[in-house]
Chains A and B, each alone.
Chain A
Amino acid sequence: MKISVASGKGGTGKTTFAVNFSLFLNNIKKNKIVLVDLDVEEPDCHIFLRAINSNRKKCFREIPKVNEKCNLCGKCAEICEFNAIAVANTEVIIFPDLCHSCYACIELCPQEAFNIENIEMGEIHWGIITSNNFYFVEGKLKIGEVMAVPMIKQTKNFSIEKFGENSYFIFDSPPGTSCPVIEATKDSDFVVLVTESTPFGLYDLKLAVETMQKLRKKFGVVINKAGIGNQEVYHYCKDEKIPILGEIPYSRGIAELYSQGRDIISIPFIKESFRKIEEKIINLV
């Protein structure tokens, strides 16, 4: 089972849900639970898990590197759609930040004047969280590195290979509706969209819903900070026939636990709410 947790915008409680839901599942499931933090720009799950991931793996992406065979013909610059190559009078200049690793320049160069160079884009960290069967993987992009998608892809593929298809994966996705969130949700069996019942929440939820519809994903909504705001999110979900999986109430107490990086599944009504959410997801998949 693969479940992605996503939201149109940041700060809706995606990470809170992903972490606590994983902890909850760990208590009731026999499968391996693997929480994968795919918010590679700002992975935060580790803070709530007090995770000390002893295992680390550097991640690389491939970019072209010019060799001595180059005769400055300029074909590479002409074909690069991302403006990642410029040919000056005496040398070829490569801009790694713009390169998408499509290989067109490398393979179409008439002189075969390119080698492949690996550049480091970040690290995958992983480890066991409890003595139980609960594992945690995190992808972390290097500061100043702009390509989130390859980092997300490698982190996701690594997790699936490492822990096997039979594990129960929770993918904490990056915010937004563009390529990174597509990469983080496209292989999942179900997507949980976390929102809050305010005009910002509703606006961004609509974008997230459109994205999931475009990807033809099964999805449902969890309303966080329920009780603030208004009823519009509820009306929207009803009108669009989007299942509301459950709620996490608005409370200063939860905000304080969150600020300390503590979990909230010890609160009885949260546990009960998660039990129902899990049940609904199973019925919908």
Chain B
Amino acid sequence: MKELVIISGKGGTGKTSFAASFAYLAGENAVLADYDVDASDLHILLEPKIKKTYQFYGGKKANIIREKCIGCGKCQEICRFDAVKNVDDKFEINKIDCEGCGYCYRICPVDAIKFEDNLSGKWYISKTRRNSTLVFAKLGIAEENSGKLVSKIKEVAHNLANENNKDLLISDGAPGIGCPVIASLSNANYVLIVTEPSLSGFHDLKRILELVKHFGYSAGCIINKYDINENITKEIEIFSHNNELEIIGKIPYSDSFPKSLVLKQTVVEYDKLDIGKTVERCWSKLQTKL
């Protein structure tokens, strides 16, 4: 089984639109995963039916039992995250600020602090309208541990692909260059970077490629909206050539993307002739890389 992970460094370059199109084209042959657990969007276009829902416990949180608290303030003194507040001479923990280190509950002289598993999100196994399996998640508001949740989704998607003898996993990666995207990339067979020819897009492409190379993955890129700035497109092409980043395709600026999105269709369904064909060619090329 091979995994294709699609990332972008920067948001808004069209990563999810491409992931959804490839998922549509692959149909039943692929398992799909959405690693953007903060703002997972792939399901919006694939409209899956949820088959199973699971709870995700990431880390722990401390909670002070008001009746037991003697107001000594030790917990507030040692908390490095300013999570402990004094309320009428007793103490309370702000759940949003608590990082779950457990230091406070260990030093509380009267055992007034509970330290419990924290429900930080949910994840789902679902069937898309193309009859493929999609694994995605929804992280609770203001929760962390997104790297761990990404790893969980990845593990489940890999297992499902293997159990069902699917030879392909298409994954919509997390944004950024931090922990979630590093977790997205683990064991990827090929990384597709979606970029756009703007000064900021190029800047982020360089940063994300540095990360991809750091971990030794092979990668290609799609330049979306390539005609919006042909000078930067040229620069990206030269940069790609010099950095062993293969150009998988160039897509022109087109209204088909927002228009298909509004109809909750993938662009290959909406625009079968022009943009759709170009995206299909990218897909054919990508398959040879896996």
Contact = CB atoms under 8 A, between A and B. Distances in A.
Same assembly: yes
Interface stretch (A128-136, A202-210, A267-275): A202-210
A174 B204 CA distance: 14
Given A143-B207, A182-B96, A199 B143 contact: no
B200 A148 contact: no
Given A41-B176, A146-B182, A256-B228, A102 B80 contact: yes
A167 interface: no
Contacts of B60: 81
A44 B200 contact: yes
Interface string B217-242: 00000000100110010000000000
Interface string B48-82: 00000000000110000000000000000010110
A17 to B, nearest CB: 13
Contacts of B204: 42, 44
Contact of B207 (A42, A104, A174, A228): A42
Interface in B236-264: 253, 255, 258-259, 261-262, 264
A111 interface: no
B273 interface: no
A258 interface: yes
Interface string A193-219: 000001110011001001100110000
A104 B103 CA distance: 5
A132 B192 CA distance: 43
Contacts of A177: 38-39, 139, 141-142
Contact of A178 (B146, B229, B255): B146
B11 interface: yes
Contact of B199 (A47, A81, A250): A47
Contact-residue size bin, chain B (C-beta under 8 Å from the other chain): 35 or more
Interface string A1-22: 0000000111111010000000
A101 interface: yes
B198 interface: yes
A100 B229 contact: no
Contacts of A103: 78, 80, 103
Contacts of A210: 141
Contact of B144 (A41, A44, A179): A179
A259 interface: yes
B106 A79 contact: yes
Interface in B81-125: 81, 96, 99-103, 106-107
Contacts of A9: 11-12, 38-39, 41, 175
A10 B203 contact: no
B13 A11 contact: yes
Interface in A241-276: 250, 252, 255-256, 258-261
Given A103-B103, A259-B229, A11 B179 contact: no
Nearest to A151: B178
A176 B39 contact: yes
B11 A15 contact: no
Contacts of B13: 11
Contact of A211 (B81, B141, B229, B261): B141
A230 B81 CA distance: 42
Nearest to B12: A11
Nearest to A102: B101
B253 A252 contact: yes
Contact of A146 (B11, B106, B179, B197): B179
Interface string B121-145: 0000000000000000001011110
Interface of A: 8-13, 15, 41-42, 44, 47-48, 79, 81-82, 100-104, 107-108, 141, 143-146, 148, 174-179, 182, 198-200, 203-204, 207, 210-211, 214-215, 225, 228-230, 250, 252, 255-256, 258-261
Given A81-B102, A252-B253, 11 more contacts: A11-B11, A12-B12, A42-B203, A48-B200, A103-B80, A104-B103, A108-B103, A146-B182, A178-B38, A214-B142, A255-B253
Q: Which 6 A-B pairs have the closest CB atoms?
A: A11-B12, A10-B11, A102-B101, A11-B11, A176-B38, A261-B199
Interface of B: 9-13, 16, 38-39, 41, 44, 59-60, 78, 80-81, 96, 99-103, 106-107, 139, 141-144, 146-147, 175-179, 182, 196-201, 203-204, 207, 210-211, 214, 225, 228-229, 232, 253, 255, 258-259, 261-262, 264
18 contacts: A12-B11, A42-B204, A101-B80, A104-B103, A107-B78, A143-B211, A175-B11, A175-B176, A178-B142, A182-B142, A199-B44, A207-B39, A211-B142, A229-B261, A250-B258, A256-B229, A259-B196, A259-B199
